[in-house]
Structure 1
Amino acid sequence: MTQHPWFAGAATPRVLAHRGLVTAEDAAHGVVENSFAAVAAAHSAGADYVESDCHLTADGVVVLFHDEDLSRVTGDPRPVAAVRSHELEGLMSERGGLLTLEQALDAFPTVRFNLDVKAADAADAVGRLVAPHGHRVLVTSFSDERRRAALAAAAAAGRGVRPATSAGRGTIGRVLAGLAVRSRRSVRRALQDVDAVQVPERQGRLRIVTPRFVEAVHGSGAEVHVWTVNDPADMRRLVDAGVDGIVTDRADVALRALR
């Protein structure tokens, strides 16, 4: 598999700033994840990659926001989909600032974005917005259907390189099933349309990231990225085990530990 430009020329192991970077000092000043300030902090710290999440507002604006509703981040119980962008801008004004996807791509032209499509209604809009920036965007989702819908929308826009993509839960399930029966062909077939597999090290009692898992994913031409890892010793251990990327809340710590 030819390496997608999202991967090319960047330092390895890859450090993906999970929802940007919010230090304790920033948090004390009200800054929250996925805000303009959080992404700017990750960029300032030297992170090549920012992992973020996409929802669609009531007026059709794609915003960087993780949760389905606003309660945890702003104290407002409404769903993101029920709030207009100007209202959300007001709610985020003292929390680091709202960041729309369009603004993120324009304001941070050298950042490579890892975008998780959180809502089905956002998939088409995400695909259209990232189409001109496909060389520096990876599209993902827990739902393979959502990520494929976003990729299809980007392709339909017909501009530039297709975005990179990582596996959804269904695809990862097929990988694990293939490993269970020792079928490398099944693993390769499952991963034929993806560039990376982004997983937690464990899911409950199930250890996902094993030497066999890493070897099989690499053998299929994809990378392994592990989330969410904040302890430097764990970061180094995983990289020593062959993991290609670390998704972390503390990109500043990871960059010091791994470079």
Structure 2
Amino acid sequence: MTHPWFQASAAPRVLAHRGLVPPDAEGVAENTLAAFAAAHAAGATYVESDCHLTADGEVILFHDDDLVRVAGDPRRVADVGLRELQAIMGTRGGLLTLAEALDSFPTLRFNLDVKVEAAAAPVGRAVAAHAERVLLTSFSDERRRVALRSAADGGGSPATSGGTRTIARVLGAVASRSERLARRALAGVDALQVPERHRGVRIVTRRLLDAAHRSGVEVHVWTVNDAGDMRRLLEMGVDGLVTDRADTALDVLSGRA
């Protein structure tokens, strides 16, 4: 049975990568209240975001380990409390805790990347009551599994996308043309979220798509911002585009671009 996360709309899906920051939105940072509101206003159903833990134990939506790129502050996110982070981000679009995001955007589906080990269990607890509209992922399969177990302890069962080791196992199975190994590698995941290429090596191929689809697993490609690339990947049969330009991707899907 398909997880409810996937039932909000038919594939192919547009996943608004860290929300949407329009080109004319001066001063607005990614992963903020303003960015998610813009994605929602553009018509996005799915948003991708990242989870870190503050010094006082709050799960926030933030990508980087530190504040250098976003705020010019050298401190690590884990060393700063929630109130101070809210003040820093107040003029940059508005910081969101995970709980605030889930409550503020009840119609959005969230694709959440657990960035640090300390955040894994708290993320699972936070999404347990919203599991039908959450997909949990991480580059670390262990972090992902900790978050899933924590959600299950709270009575929730989010969807999930495989981490780096899972993806490596799937790619190995596809390269060996072993459907049995591919099915084994894909067991327990609902999606694979991958770049089209990694270090010059093509990841997204028709063989990968066919293997995933035979196991009922979707393939989402990140981060795709060019309309021509979007059309080409959709023609290949990918199930989702993770993009900074959710507005453009939605226009491509509708035939307006």
* CA–CA separation in structure 2 for the residues paired with 1:6 and 1:90: 33
Instruction: Give the TM-score, by structure 2 length.
Output: 0.98
Amino acid at match of 2:137: T
Amino acid at match of 2:16: A
Amino acid at match of 1:231: D
* CA–CA separation in structure 1 for the residues paired with 2:199 and 2:93: 34
Report the counterpart of residue 244 of structure 1 in structure 2.
239
Amino acid at match of 1:23: P
User: Which of 45, 69, 74 lines up with 2:71 in the alignment?
Assistant: 74
CA displacement 1:116-167 (0-9 Å, x = unmatched): 0000000000000000000000000000000100000000112x4x100001
Instruction: Give unpaired runs (5+ residues) of structure 2.
Output: none
Report the counterpart of residue 107 of structure 2 in structure 1.
110
Amino acid at match of 2:18: R
Offset, 1:9: 3.6
Instruction: Give unpaired runs (5+ residues) of structure 1.
Output: none
Instruction: Give the TM-score, by structure 1 length.
Output: 0.97
3-state DSSP class of the match of 1:138?
strand
Query: Is the contact made by 2:8 and 2:45 (CA closer than 8 Å) also made in structure 1?
Result: no
Report the counterpart of residue 216 of structure 2 in structure 1.
221
3-state DSSP class of the match of 1:238?
helix
1:6 equivalent to 2:5? Answer: yes
Amino acid at match of 1:50: V
Q: What does 1:48-197 align with in structure 2 at a 5 Å threshold?
A: 48-158=45-155, 160=156, 162-197=157-192
* CA–CA separation in structure 1 for the residues paired with 2:244 and 2:74: 25
Query: Is the contact made by 2:159 and 2:190 (CA closer than 8 Å) also made in structure 1?
Result: yes
* CA–CA separation in structure 2 for the residues paired with 1:181 and 1:227: 25
* CA–CA separation in structure 1 for the residues paired with 2:10 and 2:225: 19
Moved over 2 A (4+): none
CA displacement 1:66-104 (0-9 Å, x = unmatched): 001110011111111000000100100100000110000
Aligned residues: 254
Moved more, 177-186 or 39-48: 177-186
- Percent identity between the aligned chains? 66
* CA–CA separation in structure 2 for the residues paired with 1:183 and 1:252: 39
Offset, 1:180: 1.7
Compute the RMSD of aligned alpha carbons: 0.7
* CA–CA separation in structure 2 for the residues paired with 1:132 and 1:122: 17
Report the counterpart of residue 15 of structure 2 in structure 1.
16
